Amino acid sequence: MGMKATISSIFAVFGLGIVYFLAAIPAGVALNLSPAVAAIAAWTGYTAIAAAMLLIGTPAREWMQRKFKISLEPNPQKVFWRVWGRFGMQGLGLLAPVTTGPYIAALLALALGTQPRKVILWIALGAIPWCILFAILSAAGIQFLPKPE
């Protein structure tokens, strides 16, 4: 595979990491990237879009709080706040790759008053185990495909 094709494949996986993280690593392996390179490219795309959401979401949250006088006071009687108190940003960061994605996770965390640095840290860290898992599964799956003759 030539250098242009490799770079194109990396950018494709990066873009897919932004749009649909779960498919990015298997697609990268199918494009003849090593599982590690595919995982890094997908993780970078996933984290980049979360950072972009923070850049957009932070000023939007502050404006909405001022305009509509929204309070972010937790109510321990509500189930949502009990779950958030127990698992918090760490749980959201770990589950976001397979549930909400980075867009909704970042905006939800911001809406709940989490500091932007903490949001990006946990979204980025939460995707790492999924990257490793999908890289291993993708590499193992390639072993079962017939070799071209």
- In the prediction, which pLDDT does 33 show? 94
**pTM value?**
0.82
Count of CB atoms within 10 A of residue 28's CB? Answer: 29
Q: Give CA separation, 127 vs 51, 61, 66, in Å.
A: 14, 25, 33
User: Per-residue pLDDT tens for 42-62?
Assistant: 999 999 999 998 998 878 777
Considering the chain, what percentage of its residues have pLDDT values greater than 70? 92
The token duo for 137 is 């599964």
Q: Which residue spans within 8-62 are E strands per DSSP?
A: none
Residue type at 98 in one-letter notation? V
15-40 pLDDT, tens digit per residue, is: 999 999 989 999 999 999 999 999 99
Model confidence pLDDT, tens digit, residues 65-93: 777 776 667 777 777 778 788 889 999 99
Helix (H, G, I), strand (E, B) or coil at 1: coil
